[in-house]
Structure 1
């Protein structure tokens, strides 16, 4: 478990100087009004759309696979919006890592925190069942304003970025746990604590079951939520975060604990989880991370790729 960002002298090696310069420039933008940040972010997203063709093709294909009944014009509109929202996410991270608590509180609304409090007061841990939506960094920072939790994360390969993400994510939360450290997750839940958990990406064949996700009938899906809830004696609460429609703040909503979860069959639990993920995504399709190759793992190794 990581409870503190470690700033060591080797992070100031000349090979990192250009990165530190970029970080300094990014930090300067935190003083800009939020609506102006979002306009700049949208412009960055439109520019990226012209050059990041591989990512464009991935997002476009995901929309085709998930929403086959959506017209081509509708898919193109959603694709353009998604890239604009992706550009805005740069500032979500900047704000989430460096805004003060006071400024965070000026730009947030929270609904459903009573569900978290009641669950913890009953002696049970909380699994926030989230998705990889673009404002997720800000969602965690906002949540920590009333109930600091434990984040599940992937350590960054770059030492400076690892330091920055740990320091930023611990601004209003307790600790971070590497995503493969199941034992520490269970310990955190039994404390009891709150952890964030996402099951909406493709983590490979070794840990997957193949079940429906939107219109794709065999999408690689992990069943870890069942294991965590059972071993951690925890409740699962769906978690939603979005930028509001005027780009002046962020909204989060925590729903009531799922009834009869975990169930008797982890596959059925995973199917139920995918339906919840679909509902969360459909609340704001444009702010979901469609750039990820969600369906890269096929049921059989010899099955053709869905991205060719």
Structure 2
């Protein structure tokens, strides 16, 4: 793969503002300070604390838990309500463990990050890189979603990603951007369009692509997703054609038995692009399901993943 050319392509790179010190942001700073202190604890001490707090907090976040219940009921109707509640508890346990580990990305060294990361299926990525081909990594919305991109950048394989700026939380937005860009790489704001993201991939950056977002009827095809139907983006095949990139699925997992971030890489989706939008969407949904079904507790079931329905205009998350 060619070495990226470092040009300014409408990059999203927020800077520190003195307004961040306004009292209205003090709560954010206190929470960030707590996360940084927790990052100094050994993971064997931190994880049980995180797991307990995550499970308890998750039982009191009513709206988010409701969304998770809707998603799991539609995807896993064969499971009992009690089984799905256990799945949600496990999800919040994983979420808290990852969130409390986020401070590692700012306080710990490059070497520490690399030692704390374990890659499975490295040969699938090596095959594409050795062929000097462009890469788009297909990464589900898992709680450890930021870790792989930062890990690859630390190894000299910088990543380009599209993201939604968190303007309502500017301090958090600034800090998370510092984490994401600390070893190189690029972030592009969604409101600036996709062309800058595509250009970065063509220049040699590995693309980071989230396959599970619901973009509505106009940009989607309905596909099978576990026991239900999901509105799946139909344009990934076009992106692959425009960039000439290989689409490589990649699942980030936090292993609370080893305290490591695991990156599970699957073989390139060689049938994508297929030349047919429905088939491209089907391939995308199949890859997503394959990744999620092995580690359901790692997935962000709290998102409005199934907002667009094939048989109704009613938002299923409305109460």
TM surpasses 0.5? yes
Matching residue of 2:278: 267
Distance 2:209 2:290 in 1: 16
Of the three residues 251, 259, 275, the one matched with 1:240 is 251
1:154 counterpart = 2:164: yes
CA contact (8 A) 1:96 1:137 kept: no
1:166 counterpart = 2:177: yes
Q: Map residues 203-282 of structure 1 onto 2, 5 A cutoff.
A: 203-217=215-229, 219-282=230-293
Distance 2:23 2:128 in 1: 49
CA contact (8 A) 2:39 2:102 kept: no
- 1:239-295 deviations in Å (ceiling 9; x for gaps): 011112505111112233221311110211111110110010011111110111211
1:35 counterpart = 2:38: no
SS at match of 2:183: coil
Distance 1:97 1:265 in 2: 43
Distance 2:176 2:47 in 1: 21
Matching residue of 1:86: 95
Can you give the 5+ residue segments of structure 2 that lack an aligned partner in the other structure? 1-9
Shift of residue 7, structure 1, vs aligned partner: 1.9
CA contact (8 A) 1:3 1:170 kept: no
Distance 1:215 1:49 in 2: 25
Matching residue of 1:10: 19
Matching residue of 1:183: 195
CA contact (8 A) 1:2 1:175 kept: yes
Matching residue of 1:49: 58
When structure 1 is superposed on structure 2, of 270-279 and 194-203 the one drifting more is: 194-203
Distance 1:137 1:98 in 2: 15
Cα root mean square deviation, aligned: 2.1
Cα 1:100–1:235 change in 2 (3 A) is: same
Cα 1:192–1:120 change in 2 (3 A) is: farther
Can you give the 5+ residue segments of structure 1 that lack an aligned partner in the other structure? none
Matching residue of 2:313: 303
Cα 1:113–1:9 change in 2 (3 A) is: same
Matching residue of 1:196: 208
Cα 1:96–1:224 change in 2 (3 A) is: farther
Shift of residue 122, structure 1, vs aligned partner: 3.4
Distance 1:74 1:66 in 2: 13
SS at match of 2:251: strand
Distance 2:54 2:26 in 1: 26
SS at match of 1:253: strand
How many residue pairs get aligned? The number is: 306
Q: Map residues 102-113 of structure 1 onto 2, 5 A cutoff.
A: 102-113=111-122
Cα 1:262–1:98 change in 2 (3 A) is: farther
Q: Which ranges of 4 or more aligned residues in structure 1 deviate by more than 6 Å?
A: none
Distance 1:228 1:111 in 2: 26
Matching residue of 1:144: 153
